[in-house]
């Protein structure tokens, strides 16, 4: 992929987000210093370099498109980037701010801000792929440092990054963590959630809440039925699918279905 002798140029752009995914890159610590030897960090406001309009080989994009200005800016980033990679739930699925997509956003703004006319936000928060072509997506809220490094290393080696769309349950079993769904009847989203975090929450005795988004072939019907057998109300089942990846099509459909009256 990258045959030039010059260092590959990398940019990290922020859209509507909390900065947590950029921290995943900063948290690389010594690995980030080593990486800085191999790439030229052209734009990364959190770390210092500021040059958002330069041409780059790889652009990581954190955040969703939530304002009119975001729409123009993501087009510009796309024009200047050879590979464009959205990182995190905001960038891949609209993020928690996309909960407004099914509500009256203008009403919320009026309730919260004393000068709502000063807020320039779109009615919907949408993923980066809804506006430009993307070359790979890294899911998670936040993404983890290991994933970020693996993607950069793959691109530096000229190979396509590995896309692990398997389920969190596979990581859980591999590590031998006790299953909180089976042993404690907790409503764990691991059976429908994409792997990548190393089953972090079950490793601490907690249920997965789906922050890595839908896994491949996610059987949301079966999991929703299981949640109901465990005593969750349809409203509670719906809310399990309405977390940070609420606009991921698989979770959106599952939430809609859970909220619909059932034929007896
Ligand atoms: S995905 Fe999560 S951690 Fe990353 S920017 Fe969005 S809210 Fe923050
Ligand atoms: S704890 Fe959750 S992620 Fe782990 S095996 Fe059970 S259902 Fe799957
Ligand atoms: S276990 Fe689930 S909620 Fe916890 S970090 Fe992993 S994907 Fe996110």
Domain ranges, residue 180:
168-259
> In angstroms, what is the span from residue 246 Cα to ligand 1's centroid?
13
Taking the C-alpha atoms of residue 56 and residue 135, their distance in angstroms, rounded to an integer, is: 14
Q: Give the mean model confidence (pLDDT) for residues 205-233.
A: 97
What ligand has the least distance to the C-alpha of 226? 2
Q: Do both 46 and 77 map to the same domain?
A: yes
Q: Where does a domain end: 157, 185, 205?
A: 157
User: How far is it, in rounded angstroms, from Cα 98 to Cα 90?
Assistant: 8
Predicted confidence (pLDDT) per residue in 48-69, tens digit? 899 999 999 999 999 999 999 9
182 and 134 assigned to the same domain:
no
Half-sphere exposure in the Cβ direction for 253 (13 Å, CA): 7
Please indicate, yes or no, if residue 146 is contained in any of the structural domains. Answer: yes
129 and 252 share one domain: no
Question: Helix (H, G, I), strand (E, B), or coil: what is residue 200?
Answer: helix
Domain termination residue (choose one: 127, 157, 187): 157
Residues 194 and 233 in one domain: yes
Same domain, 113 and 204: no
Do 134 and 17 lie in one domain? The reply is yes
Nearest to residue 161, comparing CAs of 250, 245, 86? Answer: 86
Confidence of residue 264 (pLDDT cuts 50, 70, 90): very low
Residue 90 has pLDDT above 50, yes or no: yes
**Total number of domains in the chain:** 2
Distance 107 CA to ligand 3 centre (A): 32
**Cβ(43)–Cβ(50) below 8 Å:** yes
Query: What's the pLDDT score for residue 164?
Result: 87
Determine whether the shortest distance from the Cβ of 95 to ligand 1 is under 6 A.
yes
Q: Is the CB of 137 under 6 A from ligand 1?
A: no
Q: Give how far Cα 84 sits from Cα of 11, 28, 78, 126, 138, Å.
A: 10, 21, 7, 16, 11
What's the CA gap between 69 and 219, in Å, rounded? 37
In a domain, 162, yes or no: no
From ligand 2's centre to the CA of 111, what distance in Å? 39
Distance in Å, CA 160 to ligand 1 centroid: 24
Mean predicted confidence (pLDDT) in 229-250: 96
Query: For position 25, which CATH number holds?
Result: 3.40.50.700
Strands (E), the chain: 9-14, 40-44, 56-62, 81-87
For residue 211 and ligand 3, the question of a CB distance below 6 A is answered with yes
- Check residue 52 and give its pLDDT: 94
Confidence of residue 106 (pLDDT cuts 50, 70, 90): confident
Is 1 contained in some domain? Answer: no
62 lines ligand 1 (CB under 6 A): yes
- Mean pLDDT on 185-196: 97
């Amino acid at each position: 992929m990258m045959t030039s002798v010059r260092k590959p140029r990398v940019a990290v752009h922020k859209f509507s987000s909390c900065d947590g995914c950029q921290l995943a890159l900063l948290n690389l610590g010594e690995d980030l210093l080593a990486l800085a030897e191999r790439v030229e960090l052209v734009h990364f406001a959190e770390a210092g370099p500021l040059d958002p309009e330069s041409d780059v080989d790889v652009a990581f994009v954190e955040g969703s498109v939530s304002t009119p200005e975001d729409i123009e800016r993501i087009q510009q980033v796309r024009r200047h980037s050879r590979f464009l990679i959205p990182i995190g739930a905001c960038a891949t699925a609209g993020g928690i701010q996309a909960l407004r997509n099914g509500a009256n956003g203008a009403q919320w703004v009026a309730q919260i801000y004393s000068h709502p006319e000063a807020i320039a936000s779109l009615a919907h928060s949408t993923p980066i792929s809804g506006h430009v072509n993307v070359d790979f997506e890294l899911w998670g809220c936040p993404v983890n440092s290991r994933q970020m490094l693996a993607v950069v290393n793959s691109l530096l080696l000229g190979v396509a990054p590995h896309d692990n769309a398997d389920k969190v349950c596979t990581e859980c079993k591999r590590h031998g963590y006790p299953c909180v769904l089976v042993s404690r009847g907790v409503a764990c989203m691991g059976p429908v959630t994409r792997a990548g975090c190393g089953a972090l929450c079950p490793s601490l005795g907690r249920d997965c809440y789906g922050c890595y988004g839908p896994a491949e072939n996610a059987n949301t019907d079966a999991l929703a039925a299981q949640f109901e057998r465990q005593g969750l109300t349809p409203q509670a089942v719906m809310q399990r699918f309405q977390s940070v990846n609420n606009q991921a099509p698989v979770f959106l459909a599952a939430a809609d279905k859970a909220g619909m009256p059932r034929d007896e």
